[in-house]
Amino acid sequence: MYEFSYHKASSVAEAAGLIASHPDAKLMSGGQTLIPTLKQRLAAPSDVIDLSKIAELKGIKVAGNVVTIGAGTLHAEVAASKDVQAAIPALAALAGNIGDAQVRNRGTLGGSIANNDPAADYPGAVVALGATVITNKRRIAGDDFFTGMFETALEADEIVTAVEFPKAEKANYQKFPNPASRYAMVGAFVAKTASGVRVAITGAGPTVFRWNDAEAALSKSLTAAALDGVKASADNLNSDIHASADYRAHLIGVLAKRAVVALG
């Protein structure tokens, strides 16, 4: 990696100050994406601002119908949390299936959604559950947060502090792992929420998206059969050596059905 200055921030305010005064700095949470990028010399930040020791970014709270997870909470902590398992079991299961044990013990919710890898799992949950992303500056609706491949609504000096997940009546996430990377080649998150049935597809396109046709069909009848004849379009889906756009479109249908079946 190239040389950079390292800062260990102890509060969000301190981190915000640092990022504002160092325009070429990078925030770091678990470093699971950032460090490999630096090691391959694909990024050359002047400064790295480490968020991983900031206490206020950590932790899981359940209040009423809302599960609030701090941006610095590890995937392993979400997976193991009795509160998350009780409130939104599909979210705990999703976190427990990210990467491998080492990754889950370093990687964070905030890092994952800020990075917005098209093959990441969490964006599916954020969108399907109608979550709200909280930053040091504002609240951003999950639907508005993920704007494109590796792109989000975040401003350059904005820090994700937490995500609020409303409890769903029922939810399930089905992941088809890429055989090599084990990221999501396609992931389908189906949730029956207070505002209706929501279906978010990750892995398949440049960024997570809602599958409107499926939502419409499932709103009438929340059964796998309701999806018979509903076909995801392959237009704009990713195509690579692992899966063509057509195959991804096919998998969207299969996984969405399986998620509906698993809703029970």
Partner 1 sequence: MTATGNAEGFGASVKRKEDQRFLTGKGNYTDDINRRGQSYAHFVRSPHAHARIRGIDASAALAMPGVLTVLTGQDVAADKLGGLICGWTIHSKDGSPMKAPAHPILALDEVRFVGDHVAVVIAETASQAKDAAEAVAVDYDVLPAVVSTADAAKPGSPLVHADVPSNLCYQWELGDKAATEAAFKNAAHIVSLDLVNNRLIPNPMEPRAAVGDYDSGTGTFTLFTTSQNPHLARLVLSAFVGIAPEHKLRVVAPDVGGGFGSKIFIYSEEAVCVWAAKKVDRPVKWTSDRSEAFLSDAHGRDHVSHAELAVDAEGRFLGLHVRTTAAMGAYLHTFSAAVPTYLYGTLLAGQYTTPAIYVEVDAVFTNTAPVDAYRGAGRPEATYLLERIVECAARDLGKDPAELRRLNFIRKFPYATPVALEYDVGDFDASMDRALELAEYSTFPARKAEAARRGKLRGIGFSAYIEACGLAPSRVAGALGAGVGLFESAQVRFNPTGNVQVFTGCHSHGQGHETTYAQLVSEHLGVSLDNIEIIHGDTAQVQYGLGTYGSRSGSVGGSAIIKAADKIIAKGRKIVAYRMEASVDDIEFKAGVFKVAGTDKQMTIAEVAFNAYVPHNYPLEELEPGLDENAFYDPQNFTFPSGTHICEVEIDPETGVTQIVKFTAVDDFGRIINPMIVHGQVHGGIAQGIGQAMLEGCHYDEETGQLITGSFMDYCMPRADDLPNFTIDATETACTHNPIGVKGCGEAGAIGSPPAVINAVTDAIGIRHMDMPATPERVWRAIQSTRLPRAAE
Ligand X SMILES: Cc1cc2nc3c(=O)[nH]c(=O)nc-3n(C[C@H](O)[C@H](O)[C@H](O)COP(=O)(O)OP(=O)(O)OC[C@H]3O[C@@H](n4cnc5c(N)ncnc54)[C@H](O)[C@@H]3O)c2cc1C
Would you tell me which residues interact with ligand X (CB under 6 A)?
Answer: 26-34, 51, 71, 75, 98-99, 103, 106-108, 110-112, 114-115, 120-122, 154, 159-160, 182-183
In angstroms, rounded to a whole number, what is the distance separating the alpha carbons of residues 179 and 62?
A: 35
Residues 204-263 close enough to bind partner 1 by CB under 8 A = 241-244, 247, 250-251, 254
Q: Where are the alpha helices (DSSP H) in the chain?
A: 12-21, 34-39, 75-80, 82-87, 89-96, 101-104, 109-115, 122-128, 142-145, 212-220, 245-263
H or E stretch including 160?
A: strand 160-166
Site string for partner 1, 23-42 (x = CB under 8 A): -----------------xx-
Tell me how far, at minimum, the Cβ of 36 lies from ligand X, in Å: 6
Tell me how far, at minimum, the Cβ of 255 lies from partner 1, in Å: 8
Of the pair 111, 227, the CB lying nearest ligand X is at: 111
Tell me how far, at minimum, the Cβ of 92 lies from ligand X, in Å: 14
- Stated length of the chain: 264
Tell me how far, at minimum, the Cβ of 148 lies from ligand X, in Å: 15
Q: What residues contact 198, with CB distance under 8 A and at least 6 apart?
A: 127, 128, 129, 130, 190, 191, 210, 215
Residues lying near partner 1 in the complex (CB under 8 A): 2, 40-41, 176, 179-181, 241-244, 247, 250-251, 254
